[in-house]
Amino acid sequence: MKITHSKEIEKAITIGRHSILKPAKVNIKTTDGTIVHGSINLGFDGRVSDVFIGSQNPFIVLFDAATSKDTSGRVLILNKNHIVWVEPEDDTPPSLL
């Protein structure tokens, strides 16, 4: 299995023809008022909005996640029903929004 690091702006890590990691940084506010900062994997969805609107999965996985109460580097699994808003961070390329 050959792993190559893509130099494209999406920073996709590929194995063969399949994309396994295409990170995008986001800020998420939950219904209890918690703000979570972290990265989501766009995978085959392509855009941040596709992960939240187009995906049938009721959960979002964040990695390198942090809240005001916790240190960074955590993995969090959030239920989409408990998300108030999502804000892509400024360094997310416009093609991935």
Domain spans in the chain, listed from the N-terminal domain onward: 21-96
Q: Residues 78-88: pLDDT tens digits?
A: 999 999 999 99
Return the CATH number of 21-96, one of 3.40.50.12780, 2.30.30.100, 1.10.540.10, 2.60.40.10.
2.30.30.100
Task: Record the pTM.
Answer: 0.71
Q: Residues 2-59: pLDDT tens digits?
A: 334 334 434 455 555 555 688 899 999 999 999 999 999 887 767 888 888 877 889 9
Is 50 exposed, middle or buried, given 0-12, 13-18 or 19+ CB atoms closer than 10 A?
A: middle
The mean pLDDT value for 50-71 works out to 86
